[in-house]
Amino acid sequence: MAKGKKDLDLSTEEKIMEAARKVFTEKGYAAARTRDIAEESGINLALLNYYFRSKEKLFELVMLERVNKLFGAIIPILNDESSTLEEKIEGIAGSYIDLLTEHPDLPIFVLSEIRNRPEKFAALVNARDHRVTKSVFMKQLIERKLSVSPFHILINLLGMTVFPFVGKPVLSKLVGNEAEFDALIKQRKELIPMWIKMMLN
């Protein structure tokens, strides 16, 4: 075996990954130090390079996970052949709000890292591109013969759903405290589909 791991003891390797997820997501690539990750996972600094070759490589793995998580939450819904347009709208708002309630800084992490180094991460997005653009969801929108581009509806759905999390550091203070803000967000699981459906006429 090339490297005698991966059978049972993902232990050390997985401890590093877990710490990497946390530190990278909290601070972003540039501000995260390999020593932070080592300390967070309770391992020796050299082990990070032993298992992952470099900070950069480790980050790429974390980034890939995050992008997959972000796209993975909607792509299956967008492409479900058996659900109606309305059901998809409910599904997207619902599952995204659930996901982002658990991982509130997922979108801002991914978006700001992509913006910091677009060349590097363009491929990550492009690879998942068509599964949105040519989705059943988009076809169903087109069938409705809207007076505006279907992309507007998609942008509105994502904007109303995701933006509260992106703007959370600012918005939660406006609303009051974080608990009140979270309560508002929970309400939006049902409100957003209602508003979006209004736009379909």
Partner DNA sequence: AATTTTATTAATCAAACGATTAAATATTTT
Partner DNA sequence: AAAATATTTAATCGTTTGATTAATAAAATT
Q: Is 86 left (phi over 0), alpha (psi -120 to 50) or beta?
A: alpha
Structure tokens at 47: 């082990």
Q: Are 65 and 110 in contact (CB under 8 A)?
A: no
Q: Are 100 and 158 in contact (CB under 8 A)?
A: no
Q: Which does 195 bind (CB under 5 to 8 A by kind): a copy of itself, DNA, none?
A: a copy of itself
Structure tokens at 32: 């995260």
For DNA, give the closer residue by CB, 3 or 130: 3
Identified binder of DNA from the candidate list 14, 26, 39, 53, rule CB under 7 A:
53
CB of 53 to DNA, least distance (A): 7
Q: Are 36 and 78 in contact (CB under 8 A)?
A: no
CA angle 59, 62, 68 (to 5 degrees): 135
Burial of 185 (0-12, 13-18, 19+ CB in 10 A): buried
Q: Which stretch binds DNA (CB under 7 A): 42-50, 95-103, 159-167, 173-181?
A: 42-50
Identified binder of DNA from the candidate list 46, 64, 127, 200, rule CB under 7 A:
46
CB of 7 to a copy of itself, least distance (A): 38
Q: Which stretch binds a copy of itself (CB under 8 A): 5-13, 14-22, 73-81, 160-168?
A: 160-168
Our finding on whether 198 is near DNA (CB under 7 A) is no
Q: Which chain residues interact with a copy of itself by CB under 8 A?
A: 26-31, 105, 108, 111-112, 114-116, 118, 122, 125-126, 129, 132-133, 148-149, 151-152, 154-156, 158-160, 162-164, 166-167, 169-171, 173-175, 184, 187-188, 191, 195, 198-199
